[in-house]
Structure 1
């Protein structure tokens, strides 16, 4: 209960709640105690016969035991109180053993603890040692409470009963420097279990130890005693050992008033019995009227319990007026506690709401909210549909950002799939922000996306700045990335028509970013994993986290190099000069991926073939262009199409940016190829082609089937001639 309150209200209010509880307890407890508990007393019902001494030293002597004539039942129960010592000691007269404790409160067993002498033998011959002879007495050894311990270095001991039947045995041995512990397992000390109801035993001891100290100590000891002291070979031969005996009432006549007591046969070797008082009664069951309800318990309706020598009622069942007062106090306390808790809750909720508002303001400022407002205000016409989402909306949409909703991870955050209340499926980007520069990067992405309105660019639906990490909400593109379809065997193979159309759509989108947006935008991270495909295989460019706005009066900017190796413009990498031609180079690598179905960087190949762009250029220079192209695309594409695409890639991958075409020219060239693909009957050798590549007359394809054999040879020659000719 308290832990729940602590979690709900916080540490400060949890401490206040504890103080209120303690104060109420201090107020109510004395009243409850006075009303429900009986007067405390140390006066027990009598345990000894009338006029007899019932205690010696600090040991109680209950009947049938007794001190003096007519105070005990018979001689086995006679006790002498030795007052000649500094402290009086009770002695069991029949055996002359000091009594440590006598108990008759246990329901099933009556016990007496006596100090018995240590038994020692130092002989190298077989020695017979006998125990206390309890035969014919109301006593027997309590097997469950005693342990027969043999201590020494080199001895073998057998336990036998009165008929010489072996009951058990053990052997001891010592290592040099061995220390005896409570665990007697044979190294300097061993133990033998004592059977129940045993009133006599004999020990056969053979001592085979060597050296000056080859004595063996034997004792029947209470298991609660410290073994490693009593088995010490240097222990005095006059030492005494606490031993537990069970006893029964023998031939004691049970008083006739047996309504308040039970008697049952004892476990011992004789046909004796034990008696005990019924529940709620206390005293000595062997005395007439010995089991009584204490005066202090007579008003108890639910029974009385004893704690030491103190009695108290169980429950609250005293005077009805007192009960009403108690319930009034309890009810008032509960109402007061509820009022205090309610007030605390209101105060806490107000403070929590205010704290939450301040925290959201802090995150809004920390995540560049004011900077975003400032930049969005400059583009008010372009961000009308941008929505500011709350943290609660996005938490519910992503099922509390469940791992099952993760679509992917990148260098600048994690993308989750979400379902908005209107059943719209969205992609939610949880950015990773560690410093101020990355905050600006995040704001940069928001500003860029609010300015873009193109069917082949992922649409930004809104953002959330109320959390520690900023969140962007995009339209959801369901068919994965282009990278997945090329390299991970996607749902369907990308045919030549798909490849050409996707390339055209991506080229148009990049051309739009470079020239059609309000301010030119350089994406800086064009790659197949940042190109998403919808269910119709329509391409959409995503991830503008590292994009750069370029002033209209500039064609390049100097900036920190960012991007992905394999797609990164080498000129930009070496000079840090970023221009639109950097995106052209990255787009060229994507085209090579489509043509070859290979990854931009391969760590499984040699150093020379590790970079796909360099591998493609090398294949052209070595007149082996078809060794790298995907065979399936070569079957589907025409000669002119592959020659055009091959030349286009070759130009895009030029080391110098000035030798690369613009994305606008690339888009026009690809659109021309798409038109010819849709209208296969058109003249493929149209001289009016104003694109980047002029196709030679001898590259045209005859439609007759008798030229199929020579088609591939002419195609290879033409492609080599076109790509190896100087630009």
Structure 2
């Protein structure tokens, strides 16, 4: 193995520090507790911020109960047993009831179920995405967990040979845990594992647990061996934070600041919500949550050979090495002194050699970097894209360099983040000339997508519609390409509807946004040079400009989404409440999938409610906005679910028309749904009627609609009379008139 140039330049420093770092990493630091508080419960150390009893804990979230069970004393946090606590890592290990199962019952002739769960909402804990995984065990079993912005799971089969220790789809599959999860509830898709396979796979399981504690055994499949092996509970690793504020915010109030020890430091926690925890500074160890909890590490005492043949002197947070008289500390050891002139000459020569090697390394590294960027550029179809751009004059599309986008986004600073989704993170950037843009860094792309990326960018660059966020360019010289869009300043439709801003949203504004969004989707489906399916229509993907004009965003998501059917079946991603039920069954995305999702957006505009309710106390038919709406329409109770701000007797006919259109969009069978072009045309006509409540019709047209002499039908009519005439005409056509 060759030593890289950058490693060469740092080698002396690394060699000097390796021993000290190893000692710090392997030191067994005892738990620290407050005077008068219980230091242990059974065999488990209870360090601050945790405590047995509220008076011993930093706050109520760290309050543990020390309980005696079958003669053994164990600590509990709520219903879960705590088996280990680590202050330096900010982690806690608990035994939890996260095993979900379904088994065939011979007595009932059907399947029985149990949903394992873990809920850390409102506590300092969240599930570690690094130390845990989701495992599904069984034959022909599809299981998943879901939250407010994700749905994730996998499918295990018994088509291949099952092997102990191998969890890759045959009898067992696994999937990573999303970041920042605080609630777990396992679910099974009943259309997969059923009573037809009970004779060889009686039980199936889904479990969220510590990945280091799981080892697949073939005996787990189709029996209760797995459940019995863990006695119904499994180990789970949790991250925890000392407080809900960031470090900067927490340090403004030192009376409640948790990092009370000298030589302690504050660390911002990662995840969907801000927070912080404490750690001892470099060269110190102990507990930063108590006074004088961080003590200096005596490196000289811990490692007698840390200075080789020299003398070691411990200092605050570090140590120094020196030699006895007549020797110098050189290259990590004591060496005899040489005459001054040879030493100077040797030193100058070494310095010159190091400078020459450094320059050579810098040149070599720069060449490697340029070659890597050229390889990425070709891999993503950059040459094809360049040729096509030259052949199509006037195309407003730019290929950006990585350096340009780093400078525009302040090196992709967290302060520039506009939002995060299943496909990547979006940053606000400012290009040369003070041009505001949105830069999207995608997460992953497979090899086939990388090859087709240049062609797909050319298709997307030709999308030109006033209600679609314009794709300005892309960056191809990185491992996963980045996209550059125009910046839309007024937030999302989701924020407008559900945000606590105190603004009243009129029906006219809602109808305008709906029409403009539908017109944009109709353009993608029907008028783009190559039809484009959006794939993720939702209110948070509809942006608003300063005049509340709609602009559909993220329309290229399906370009970067998995296209292989097996990937869709094994790993299902989506947004709860918007997913097309037909897509969930077939795993095939169509233009009617976008129509269904847009129907849910129409319901949000009418009802001002979230698309999915995760409250376990809410009845099943009220969890989904589409189900609640469907029940209300069937019971003729539309007025009971409408947003109070749009309940207006003058516009009730328009609201009813929008509701009927939404019902058509939400048909279970995609073939029965209208096209986006039909939806846009219907909303356009409703918008015109609302803008001009008094409609003037020519005599011949009115006579055709009413079946009456033109002298009767030539007057000006109101919008309510217009809808009455329209329905009368439709009924006449249906009856053969």
Q: What TM-score, normalized by structure 2, do the two folds share?
A: 0.47
Larger radius of gyration: 1
Q: What TM-score, normalized by structure 1, do the two folds share?
A: 0.47
